[in-house]
Chains A and B, each alone.
Chain A
Amino acid sequence: MLSGKSGFSLNGVEVIMEQLKTRQFAGIDLGKDAVRMSLFDEGKAEMTEESFRIPSPDGQSYISQGLDLIRQYMESSHLTWGDFQEVSFTLENADVSARDALKEQLDPDFLELHGCNVITRLRAFVEYVFHQERAVWDRNTLLLDYSDGRLSCIFIEQIRRARQRAYRAVLNEVDTEEFGITEGDQDLDLNFSRMMKGFLVKHPSHIIYLTGKGFEGNWMKKTLNYLCAGRRVFLGQNIYANGACLSGLGPVPLMEEGMILMQGPEMVRHTIGVISQEAGRIQYVPITSIGKEWYNTSGTIDIIMDKSQKVELFYHNSKENEMECESCEIRDLPGRPPKTTRLRLTVDFTSSSTGVILITDMGFGSMFPATGKVTVFPFTLIS
């Protein structure tokens, strides 16, 4: 028995046990038909997947029903939210109202612990792919999501094969009517395989993921024969939850370097930055990066103002590779010698193409005290 007298304390052991615990992450995908939860144990590098069908889509919202199911599962498995380092969500439709509804449904304790971290399904898939071994993302990857008669695809394409590789992830809706694809139809397999032949010519992929309840049942024969020819095909329903879960591990280097452009609703295509000189060379210093939803994109940088009293901001469109410049004049600051005003630039988006830059006067130590004056500079990204 451990006691204070023996030199150990129970408290000390608890601390050691706490330190030995590996980090765990959770990802929850709230769909209208089912809620999926993935748990990742970093120490074991093991993913646990759970899926619960939502009983009645009417009446209570699918978000509240889904969360109830998750709470029941947590209770029965003796899990608490405190066991997880980070919990991320994906929603079938991650618009403002859905995000607000989710936030309302979450307990205050949960919000205090993890916040309300919502990512789009597009990003969840990209996170999933780029958290896998290199062989998975070294070439083109495709996700097909077939639910409620609608087929959507996310195509991750390598757009630069130089040493510093770059990728583009595009979310598209596929017109199934053109090929006569109807859920439950007896020619579904034939029509689907015909469509895939043309589709894969335009979207050459080496790894294909299939998800959505449309792929359930045993109807795929010809389609699978064609898809599996020289490719690796995976079918699963937890891919978004897995991606959300893995996003908690932190950004992959390619994402951090802005090398993955994601084209889809809510995604930011522009970086906002300044032009600076590093070791005599002019370079663009981004404040925000691409590859995230606008509501998850923000950035801060500190700059020194010279005598011009102007801040020049650059917007780089990563899709078109175009640069725009805008100047913001800083007024009403006390007279100070050149290069003795530190400004903090904080960029926040209010949609994928609009936002606001807050420019705060930080002064210059005790030599030139800060006024704390904030200049608000709204921006609209046109290109």
Chain B
Amino acid sequence: MKETIVCKGEIGKKPYRFPETGTLIYSYEELCYYLSSHMLCYLYTLPEEELLIYIRDELKLDKLYRQLVRLDDPNRDQMKYFAALFREGNYYSEDDIRRILDNYRVLKNTPYPMQCKWIGDMYLNAGRSSMAAFYYREALKFETLDSEAMGNVYHNMAIAKARLFRFEDAKVDFLKAFRYGGAEDSLFYYYCIVAMSEGLQRAGEEITGLKVSDVVLESFETRFAEIGEEYRCSSAAAYERRIRFLKEHGRQEEAGELHKSLITGFRRDFRKELYMDENLLVTNLPVHLSM
């Protein structure tokens, strides 16, 4: 006999948006799932009061609302807040709740730079590159991370900066990532940025200057060529060809319009945060926390 998880409360008519990631939830179960996988966001704070109002008004979980209001004080034991929230329904079993809270305890006891690195990763995955870059800088501030972890932080920070179109900064960070972690991937992305901005020859010279074997350089060239090939088959490349064609035939205005929409597409892909709710850019700014 299999037990079924019966949903609790109602489905909200409008969603609740988590300001950190822009994720939308509509039900108690989605709330539990989101919170359990984003406990990192709540190491020093608790979810916003608006969430409690959402629980009361949209999910119609009045009892849970009253319970959480009493526990909504970051100076009190935050575990109690989450335990009360997860225990309200049947979404998580008692074992699941214990495991989530144990993980939360582990996260809380993790050194601050590592916490910052993980928070940065979470923001990067959520498409919030500037917030991610901020947390990576925080992680690097204390210089307590080991060499491999430093390499990872620099690598991810470089990705965040590249997504913000700060290619010069990204280049520097990819190089640092390679120096600390020795990951070939970091070096390859460095090669890609140089290749795109200064040409393939210059990129090759840069890599040779770093005393990397010819085999590695050859593999980079192949990988880069493959990426180029993939791009040539993409819709963006088709757009580009169309723009070129229009320009060649004197249809500057049309070409300009197409160029504008191509750039908008790139911005949407790389800087999701610009297209998220306006509140996302102004709320929940990180505060400087002492170790």
Contact = CB atoms under 8 A, between A and B. Distances in A.
A303 B15 contact: no
A342 B2 contact: no
Interface on chain B toward A: helix, strand, loop, or mixed SS?
loop
A81 B184 CA distance: 80
Given A275-B2, A276-B5, A340 B94 contact: no
Contact of A311 (B4, B7, B24): B4
Interface in B1-28: 1-7, 11, 15, 23-27
B24 A303 contact: no
- Indicate the size class of the contact surface on chain B: 20 to 34
B97 to A, nearest CB: 11
Given A275-B1, A304-B5, A342 B29 contact: yes
Nearest to B12: A365
Interface string A324-348: 0100000000000001101000000
Contact of B33 (A302, A312, A367): A367
- Tell which of B2, B4, B23, B30 has the most Cβ of chain A within 10 Å: B4
A303 B33 contact: no
Contacts of A322: none
A32 to B, nearest CB: 46
A56 to B, nearest CB: 53
A277 interface: yes
A266 to B, nearest CB: 29
A19 interface: no
Nearest to A345: B4
A342 B27 contact: yes
A89 B212 CA distance: 89
A275 B4 CA distance: 6
A interface: dominant SS: strand
A195 interface: no
Given A340-B33, A364-B33, A365-B15, A303 B7 contact: yes
A306 interface: yes
B91 A367 contact: no
A56 B187 CA distance: 98
B23 A367 contact: yes
Interface stretch (A7-15, A278-286, A288-296): A278-286
A274 B26 contact: no
Contacts of B91: 304, 339
Contact of B6 (A303, A310, A339): A303
Contacts of A277: 3, 90, 93
Interface string B212-255: 00000000000000000000000000000000000000000000
A304 B15 CA distance: 19
Contacts of B30: 364-365, 367
B33 A274 contact: no
A366 interface: yes
B29 A304 contact: yes
A301 interface: yes
B6 A312 contact: no
Given A303-B6, A364-B30, 17 more contacts: A275-B1, A275-B2, A276-B4, A277-B90, A301-B7, A302-B7, A312-B1, A312-B2, A325-B1, A342-B7, A364-B33, A365-B23, A365-B24, A365-B30, A366-B23, A367-B25, A367-B33
Interface of A: 274-278, 280, 282, 285, 301-304, 306, 308, 310-312, 325, 339-340, 342, 362, 364-367
24 contacts: A274-B4, A274-B6, A275-B1, A275-B2, A276-B4, A280-B94, A282-B3, A303-B4, A304-B5, A304-B29, A304-B91, A310-B2, A311-B4, A312-B2, A342-B7, A342-B27, A362-B11, A364-B33, A365-B15, A365-B23, A365-B24, A367-B25, A367-B33, A367-B34
Interface of B: 1-7, 11, 15, 23-27, 29-30, 33-34, 90-91, 93-94
